[in-house]
Protein backbone atom coordinates (compact mmCIF):
# COMPACT_ATOMS: atom_id res chain seq x y z
CA UNK A 1 0.00 0.00 0.00
CA UNK A 2 1.34 3.45 -0.92
CA UNK A 3 0.67 5.12 2.41
CA UNK A 4 1.97 6.04 5.82
CA UNK A 5 0.24 3.78 8.32
CA UNK A 6 0.31 4.21 12.08
CA UNK A 7 -0.83 0.94 13.60
CA UNK A 8 -1.58 1.23 17.31
CA UNK A 9 1.60 3.31 17.52
CA UNK A 10 2.79 4.68 20.87
CA UNK A 11 5.97 6.54 21.79
CA UNK A 12 7.75 6.90 25.12
CA UNK A 13 10.69 9.34 25.45
CA UNK A 14 13.90 8.11 27.13
CA UNK A 15 12.87 9.91 30.35
CA UNK A 16 9.87 7.56 30.56
CA UNK A 17 7.23 10.08 29.41
CA UNK A 18 4.71 8.58 26.99
CA UNK A 19 3.79 11.36 24.55
CA UNK A 20 1.40 9.48 22.22
CA UNK A 21 -0.63 6.34 22.71
CA UNK A 22 -2.35 3.88 20.38
CA UNK A 23 -2.40 6.07 17.27
CA UNK A 24 -4.16 4.60 14.25
CA UNK A 25 -3.99 6.57 11.04
CA UNK A 26 -3.56 5.95 7.32
CA UNK A 27 -2.36 8.75 5.05
CA UNK A 28 -2.40 7.74 1.41
CA UNK A 29 -0.21 9.19 -1.28
CA UNK A 30 -1.60 12.41 -2.73
CA UNK A 31 -3.48 13.43 0.42
CA UNK A 32 -3.24 16.83 2.10
CA UNK A 33 -3.64 16.41 5.85
CA UNK A 34 -3.61 19.08 8.57
CA UNK A 35 -2.84 17.95 12.12
CA UNK A 36 -4.24 20.24 14.81
CA UNK A 37 -4.54 20.19 18.59
CA UNK A 38 -3.47 21.79 21.83
CA UNK A 39 0.18 22.35 22.78
CA UNK A 40 1.71 19.13 23.99
CA UNK A 41 -1.01 16.92 22.44
CA UNK A 42 1.67 14.84 20.73
CA UNK A 43 1.53 16.16 17.16
CA UNK A 44 5.29 16.55 16.65
CA UNK A 45 5.97 13.20 18.31
CA UNK A 46 3.45 11.57 15.95
CA UNK A 47 4.99 13.02 12.78
CA UNK A 48 8.51 12.22 13.93
CA UNK A 49 7.37 8.58 14.03
CA UNK A 50 6.18 8.94 10.42
CA UNK A 51 9.65 9.86 9.16
CA UNK A 52 11.58 7.46 11.36
CA UNK A 53 13.13 10.09 13.68
CA UNK A 54 11.28 8.23 16.44
CA UNK A 55 10.72 4.48 16.23
CA UNK A 56 7.46 3.50 17.95
CA UNK A 57 7.82 2.05 21.46
CA UNK A 58 4.58 0.14 20.85
CA UNK A 59 2.78 -0.79 17.64
CA UNK A 60 4.17 -0.12 14.17
CA UNK A 61 4.66 2.60 11.59
CA UNK A 62 4.62 1.40 7.99
CA UNK A 63 5.74 3.61 5.10
CA UNK A 64 4.87 2.32 1.61
CA UNK A 65 4.78 -1.20 3.02
CA UNK A 66 8.08 -0.91 4.92
CA UNK A 67 8.18 -1.08 8.73
CA UNK A 68 10.23 1.88 10.01
CA UNK A 69 11.78 -0.38 12.65
CA UNK A 70 13.55 -2.30 9.88
CA UNK A 71 15.19 0.79 8.35
CA UNK A 72 17.48 3.58 9.48
CA UNK A 73 16.13 7.11 9.88
CA UNK A 74 18.24 8.14 6.86
CA UNK A 75 16.53 5.48 4.73
CA UNK A 76 13.01 6.47 5.85
CA UNK A 77 13.80 10.15 5.27
CA UNK A 78 14.12 9.47 1.53
CA UNK A 79 10.38 8.60 1.61
CA UNK A 80 9.15 11.06 4.22
CA UNK A 81 10.68 14.55 4.36
CA UNK A 82 10.32 16.45 7.63
CA UNK A 83 10.76 20.23 7.80
CA UNK A 84 11.48 21.30 11.37
CA UNK A 85 9.36 23.97 13.03
CA UNK A 86 12.50 26.03 13.68
CA UNK A 87 14.79 26.20 10.61
CA UNK A 88 17.76 26.81 12.93
CA UNK A 89 17.36 23.22 14.18
CA UNK A 90 17.78 21.98 10.61
CA UNK A 91 20.07 24.24 8.58
CA UNK A 92 23.81 23.65 8.93
CA UNK A 93 25.48 24.62 5.63
CA UNK A 94 27.23 27.93 5.00
CA UNK A 95 25.27 28.88 1.88
CA UNK A 96 21.66 28.47 0.83
CA UNK A 97 22.64 26.55 -2.30
CA UNK A 98 24.87 24.17 -0.34
CA UNK A 99 21.99 23.50 2.04
CA UNK A 100 19.60 22.66 -0.81
CA UNK A 101 22.15 20.53 -2.66
CA UNK A 102 23.18 18.64 0.44
CA UNK A 103 20.83 15.64 0.22
CA UNK A 104 21.04 15.14 -3.59
CA UNK A 105 24.85 15.17 -3.22
CA UNK A 106 24.70 12.83 -0.21
CA UNK A 107 22.57 10.49 -2.34
CA UNK A 108 25.28 10.73 -5.05
CA UNK A 109 23.03 12.05 -7.80
CA UNK A 110 24.39 13.23 -11.13
CA UNK A 111 25.18 16.96 -11.51
CA UNK A 112 22.38 17.41 -14.05
CA UNK A 113 19.85 15.88 -11.65
CA UNK A 114 21.16 17.94 -8.71
CA UNK A 115 20.73 21.09 -10.80
CA UNK A 116 17.18 20.13 -11.80
CA UNK A 117 16.16 19.43 -8.20
CA UNK A 118 17.68 22.64 -6.87
CA UNK A 119 15.94 24.69 -9.57
CA UNK A 120 12.60 23.05 -8.81
CA UNK A 121 12.93 23.53 -5.02
CA UNK A 122 14.02 27.15 -5.48
CA UNK A 123 11.15 27.86 -7.87
CA UNK A 124 8.57 26.40 -5.46
CA UNK A 125 9.90 28.38 -2.49
CA UNK A 126 10.75 31.65 -4.26
CA UNK A 127 14.26 32.02 -2.80
CA UNK A 128 16.30 32.43 -6.03
CA UNK A 129 17.92 35.67 -4.98
CA UNK A 130 19.34 34.21 -1.75
CA UNK A 131 21.24 31.22 -3.15
CA UNK A 132 24.75 32.52 -2.46
CA UNK A 133 23.91 33.96 0.95
CA UNK A 134 24.69 32.45 4.31
CA UNK A 135 21.30 31.15 5.55
CA UNK A 136 21.90 32.89 8.87
CA UNK A 137 22.27 36.27 7.13
CA UNK A 138 18.72 36.22 5.76
CA UNK A 139 15.44 36.88 7.59
CA UNK A 140 13.89 34.11 9.68
CA UNK A 141 10.77 33.89 7.50
CA UNK A 142 12.91 33.37 4.36
CA UNK A 143 15.16 30.95 6.25
CA UNK A 144 12.06 28.80 6.80
CA UNK A 145 11.77 28.52 3.00
CA UNK A 146 15.43 27.48 2.79
CA UNK A 147 14.64 24.65 5.21
CA UNK A 148 11.64 23.66 3.06
CA UNK A 149 13.67 23.82 -0.19
CA UNK A 150 16.37 21.60 1.32
CA UNK A 151 13.80 18.91 2.09
CA UNK A 152 11.99 19.40 -1.25
CA UNK A 153 15.23 18.60 -3.09
CA UNK A 154 15.00 14.99 -1.86
CA UNK A 155 11.65 14.77 -3.73
CA UNK A 156 10.09 12.48 -1.15
CA UNK A 157 6.60 11.08 -1.80
CA UNK A 158 5.54 12.48 1.60
CA UNK A 159 6.38 15.90 3.04
CA UNK A 160 5.77 16.98 6.63
CA UNK A 161 5.72 20.69 7.48
CA UNK A 162 5.80 21.58 11.20
CA UNK A 163 4.16 24.99 11.81
CA UNK A 164 5.06 26.40 8.36
CA UNK A 165 3.01 29.61 8.66
CA UNK A 166 4.55 30.74 11.96
CA UNK A 167 6.36 34.02 11.25
CA UNK A 168 5.05 34.25 7.65
CA UNK A 169 3.17 37.20 6.18
CA UNK A 170 0.36 36.89 3.58
CA UNK A 171 2.89 36.52 0.74
CA UNK A 172 4.74 33.71 2.55
CA UNK A 173 1.45 31.93 3.23
CA UNK A 174 0.50 32.25 -0.47
CA UNK A 175 3.84 30.65 -1.45
CA UNK A 176 3.13 27.79 0.97
CA UNK A 177 -0.36 27.24 -0.47
CA UNK A 178 1.00 27.16 -4.02
CA UNK A 179 3.74 24.71 -3.15
CA UNK A 180 1.35 22.39 -1.32
CA UNK A 181 -0.96 22.36 -4.37
CA UNK A 182 1.99 21.78 -6.73
CA UNK A 183 3.14 18.79 -4.70
CA UNK A 184 -0.35 17.32 -4.58
CA UNK A 185 -0.66 17.75 -8.35
CA UNK A 186 2.42 15.50 -8.61
CA UNK A 187 0.69 12.86 -6.44
CA UNK A 188 2.72 13.67 -3.35
CA UNK A 189 1.28 13.96 0.16
CA UNK A 190 1.67 16.97 2.41
CA UNK A 191 1.12 16.62 6.15
CA UNK A 192 1.15 19.82 8.18
CA UNK A 193 1.09 20.52 11.89
CA UNK A 194 -0.39 23.94 12.50
CA UNK A 195 -2.15 26.20 14.97
CA UNK A 196 -3.26 28.40 12.05
CA UNK A 197 -6.90 27.44 11.49
CA UNK A 198 -7.36 29.71 8.45
CA UNK A 199 -4.43 27.92 6.81
CA UNK A 200 -6.02 24.55 7.62
CA UNK A 201 -9.45 25.50 6.26
CA UNK A 202 -7.94 27.00 3.10
CA UNK A 203 -5.51 24.22 2.25
CA UNK A 204 -6.35 20.84 3.75
CA UNK A 205 -9.00 18.37 2.61
CA UNK A 206 -8.54 16.29 5.70
CA UNK A 207 -7.98 17.38 9.30
CA UNK A 208 -6.77 15.17 12.15
CA UNK A 209 -7.37 16.51 15.67
CA UNK A 210 -5.21 15.38 18.58
CA UNK A 211 -5.67 15.82 22.32
CA UNK A 212 -3.84 14.32 25.28
CA UNK A 213 -1.71 11.78 23.41
CA UNK A 214 -4.54 10.55 21.17
CA UNK A 215 -6.19 11.17 17.80
CA UNK A 216 -9.71 12.25 18.72
CA UNK A 217 -11.15 13.08 15.28
CA UNK A 218 -10.38 12.71 11.58
CA UNK A 219 -12.53 14.40 8.93
CA UNK A 220 -13.10 17.45 6.77
CA UNK A 221 -12.24 20.92 8.14
CA UNK A 222 -15.96 21.67 8.37
CA UNK A 223 -16.72 18.47 10.29
CA UNK A 224 -13.86 19.08 12.73
CA UNK A 225 -14.39 22.81 13.31
CA UNK A 226 -18.14 22.45 13.79
CA UNK A 227 -17.85 19.55 16.22
CA UNK A 228 -17.97 21.51 19.48
CA UNK A 229 -16.77 18.56 21.55
CA UNK A 230 -13.68 18.13 19.36
CA UNK A 231 -13.02 21.89 19.36
CA UNK A 232 -13.12 22.09 23.14
CA UNK A 233 -11.25 18.83 23.86
CA UNK A 234 -8.42 19.59 21.43
CA UNK A 235 -8.51 23.29 22.42
CA UNK A 236 -8.58 24.54 18.85
CA UNK A 237 -10.81 27.25 17.45
CA UNK A 238 -12.71 27.58 14.23
CA UNK A 239 -11.66 30.03 11.54
CA UNK A 240 -12.33 33.64 12.61
CA UNK A 241 -15.37 33.69 10.31
CA UNK A 242 -16.53 30.38 11.80
CA UNK A 243 -16.24 31.83 15.33
CA UNK A 244 -18.19 34.90 14.24
CA UNK A 245 -20.91 32.75 12.65
CA UNK A 246 -21.22 30.82 15.91
CA UNK A 247 -21.39 34.00 18.01
CA UNK A 248 -24.04 35.50 15.73
CA UNK A 249 -25.84 32.14 15.44
CA UNK A 250 -25.87 32.66 11.71
CA UNK A 251 -25.78 30.02 9.01
CA UNK A 252 -24.94 26.36 9.08
CA UNK A 253 -21.33 25.31 9.60
CA UNK A 254 -19.81 28.44 8.04
CA UNK A 255 -16.00 28.64 7.75
CA UNK A 256 -15.27 31.11 4.96
CA UNK A 257 -15.91 34.77 4.24
CA UNK A 258 -17.84 34.19 1.00
CA UNK A 259 -20.17 31.79 2.82
CA UNK A 260 -20.84 34.44 5.46
CA UNK A 261 -21.53 37.09 2.82
CA UNK A 262 -23.91 34.71 1.01
CA UNK A 263 -25.75 33.87 4.23
CA UNK A 264 -26.17 37.52 5.19
CA UNK A 265 -27.36 38.37 1.66
CA UNK A 266 -29.84 35.48 1.86
CA UNK A 267 -31.19 36.76 5.17
CA UNK A 268 -31.53 40.24 3.76
CA UNK A 269 -33.42 38.74 0.84
CA UNK A 270 -30.87 39.80 -1.75
N1 LIG B 1 12.56 14.88 24.23
C2 LIG B 1 11.51 14.81 25.05
N3 LIG B 1 11.59 14.18 26.25
C4 LIG B 1 10.52 14.10 27.05
N5 LIG B 1 9.30 14.58 26.78
C6 LIG B 1 9.16 15.21 25.61
C7 LIG B 1 10.24 15.36 24.68
N8 LIG B 1 9.78 16.03 23.59
C9 LIG B 1 8.48 16.28 23.83
N10 LIG B 1 8.11 15.80 25.04
C11 LIG B 1 6.79 15.91 25.64
O12 LIG B 1 5.87 15.15 24.88
C13 LIG B 1 4.61 15.81 24.84
C14 LIG B 1 4.15 15.94 23.40
O15 LIG B 1 5.07 16.85 22.76
P16 LIG B 1 4.91 17.21 21.22
O17 LIG B 1 6.01 18.16 20.90
O18 LIG B 1 4.78 15.96 20.43
O19 LIG B 1 3.51 17.97 21.25
P20 LIG B 1 2.86 18.92 20.17
O21 LIG B 1 1.42 18.53 20.07
O22 LIG B 1 3.66 18.90 18.92
O23 LIG B 1 2.96 20.34 20.87
P24 LIG B 1 3.24 21.82 20.26
O25 LIG B 1 1.97 22.21 19.57
O26 LIG B 1 3.49 22.63 21.49
O27 LIG B 1 4.42 21.73 19.34
C28 LIG B 1 4.78 17.14 25.56
O29 LIG B 1 4.26 17.01 26.87
C30 LIG B 1 6.27 17.34 25.60
O31 LIG B 1 6.66 18.04 26.76
Q: Tens digits of per-residue pLDDT, 63-103?
A: 999 999 999 999 999 999 999 999 999 999 999 999 999 99
The verdict on the CB of residue 235 being under 6 Å from ligand 1 is no
> How many CB atoms within 10 Å of residue 165?
21
pLDDT at 250: 85
- Give, for ligand 1, the residue of 6, 13, 53 to mutate: max count of ligand atoms closer than 8 Å to Cβ: 13
Distance (Å, rounded) from C-alpha 43 to C-alpha 160?
A: 11
CA of residue 8 to ligand 1 center, whole Å: 19
Judge if 98 and 210 occupy the same domain.
no
In angstroms, rounded to a whole number, what is the distance separating the alpha carbons of residues 105 and 92? 15
- Give pLDDT tens digits along the chain (270 positions): 799 999 999 999 999 999 999 999 999 999 999 999 999 999 999 999 999 999 999 999 999 999 999 999 999 999 999 999 999 999 999 999 999 999 999 999 999 999 999 999 999 999 999 999 999 999 999 999 999 999 999 999 999 999 999 999 999 999 999 999 999 999 999 999 999 999 999 999 899 999 999 999 999 999 999 999 999 999 999 999 999 999 988 877 899 999 999 988 888 886
Say how far apart CA 253 and CA 125 lie, in whole Å: 34
Ligand 1, atom 6: nearest CA belongs to which residue? 13
Q: Report the predicted TM-score, pTM, of the whole model to 2 decimal places.
A: 0.94
Structural domain ending residue among the three candidates 150, 167, 189: 150
Are 58 and 191 members of one domain? yes
Decide if 29 contacts 187 (C-beta within 8 A).
yes
Same domain? For 64 and 161 the reply is yes
State how far the Cα of 188 lies from the Cα of 32, in Å rounded to an integer: 9
Same structural domain for residues 2 and 71? yes
pLDDT score, position 221: 94
| Number of domains into which the chain is organized | 3
Residues 250, 261 contacting (CB under 8 angstroms): no
pLDDT number for residue 1: 77
Is residue 85 assigned to a domain? no
Residue 119 belongs to some domain of the structure: yes
* In a domain? residue 86: no
Domain membership of residue 89 (yes or no) is: no
pLDDT at 157: 96
Q: Are residues 72 and 14 in the same domain?
A: yes
| Whether residue 160 sits in one domain with residue 63 | yes
State if residue 41 touches ligand 1 by the CB under 6 angstroms criterion: yes
**Same domain? 123 vs 188:** no
In a shared domain, residues 75 and 17: yes
Q: Is residue 233 part of a domain?
A: yes
Among residues 101, 103, 97, 47, the alpha carbon closest in space to that of 74 is found at 103
Q: Which pLDDT belongs to residue 36?
A: 97
ipTM: 0.96
- What pLDDT is stored for residue 126 in this prediction? 95
Examine residue 184 and state whether it is found in any structural domain, yes or no.
yes
Between the CA of 19 and the centroid of ligand 1 the distance, in Å, is: 6
The pLDDT assigned to 251 comes to: 72
- Residue-level pLDDT at 268: 86
Q: Whose CA is nearest to atom 17 of ligand 1?
A: 44
- CB-CB contact of 150 with 103 (8 Å): yes
Does 84 map to a domain?
A: no
- Say if residue 254 is in the same domain as residue 230: no
pLDDT for 210 equals 98
Question: What is the gyration radius of the CA atoms in the chain, in angstroms?
Answer: 20
Same domain, 2 and 37: yes
Q: Are residues 51 and 124 in the same domain?
A: no
Which domain, by its residues, includes 100?
94-150
Residue 208 CB–ligand 1 contact under 6 Å: no
In a domain, 16, yes or no: yes
Q: Same structural domain for residues 98 and 75?
A: no
Amino acid sequence: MMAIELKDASFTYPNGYTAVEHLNLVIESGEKVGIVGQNGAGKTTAVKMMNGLHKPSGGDVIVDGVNTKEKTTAQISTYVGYVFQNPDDQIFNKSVIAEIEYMPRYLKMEEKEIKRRVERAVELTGIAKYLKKNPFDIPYSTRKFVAIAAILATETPYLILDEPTAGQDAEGIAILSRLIDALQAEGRSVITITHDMEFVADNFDRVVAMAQKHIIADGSARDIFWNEEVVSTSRIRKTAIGELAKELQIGERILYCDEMVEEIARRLGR
